[in-house]
């Protein structure tokens, strides 16, 4: 990918803050495009993958769509629609909550867990290929991004 100036064919930026925002947006697009390519053969989007990981983290305990929405990486995602698509693929199941009939519990299925296990090594390898940094640099960038969001 190289320098942002080369990638978007811009010689200079107004200031380093403007350059950083453009760089972050461009890098996000690069990562999303790479993830789309990784998940496409499995008929999965990065957002659907995120839902499956959230559900796996529940360790078999049911959760609600609103709880999933709260934990999504992309807050603009429609968790209800994502869960419906995953249900059609038999990767999750929706059940009426026994204590509150208005609430719907969501659980990952065995098929969903198997898909995550299958993807895990590919995702880890892809992450190392996407992120061309040393472990120390990755730790430092994580700290800086946390600070950026303050």
Residues in the chain: 150
What are the start-end ranges of the H helices in the chain?
Answer: 4-8, 16-39, 46-56, 65-71, 79-88, 110-130, 135-149
More confident residue, 74 or 18: 18
pLDDT at 119: 95
Task: Please determine, for residue 1, whether its predicted confidence score (pLDDT) is greater than 70.
Answer: no
**Which residues are within 8 A (CB) of 116 and not within 5 positions of it... i.e. 6 or more apart?**
52, 53, 56, 108
Nearest in space to 106 (alpha carbons), one of 121, 85, 122, 126: 85
* Domain limits, the chain: 1-42, 47-126
Q: Which CATH class is domain 47-126?
A: mainly alpha
Tens-digit pLDDT profile for residues 109-130: 999 999 999 999 999 999 988 8
């Amino acid at each position: 990918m190289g320098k942002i100036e080369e990638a978007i064919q811009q010689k200079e930026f107004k200031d380093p803050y403007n350059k950083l925002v453009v760089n972050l947006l461009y890098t996000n697009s690069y990562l999303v495009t790479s993830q789309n390519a990784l998940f496409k053969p499995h008929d999965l989007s990065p957002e659907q993958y995120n839902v499956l990981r959230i559900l796996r983290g529940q360790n078999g305990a049911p959760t609600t769509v609103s709880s999933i929405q709260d934990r999504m990486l992309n807050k603009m995602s429609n968790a209800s629609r994502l869960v419906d698509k995953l249900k059609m693929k038999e990767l999750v199941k929706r059940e009426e909550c026994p204590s509150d009939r208005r609430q719907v519990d969501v659980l990952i299925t065995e098929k969903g867990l198997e898909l995550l296990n299958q993807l895990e090594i590919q995702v880890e390898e892809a992450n190392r290929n996407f992120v061309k940094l040393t472990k120390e640099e990755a730790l430092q960038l994580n700290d800086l991004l946390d600070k950026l969001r303050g």
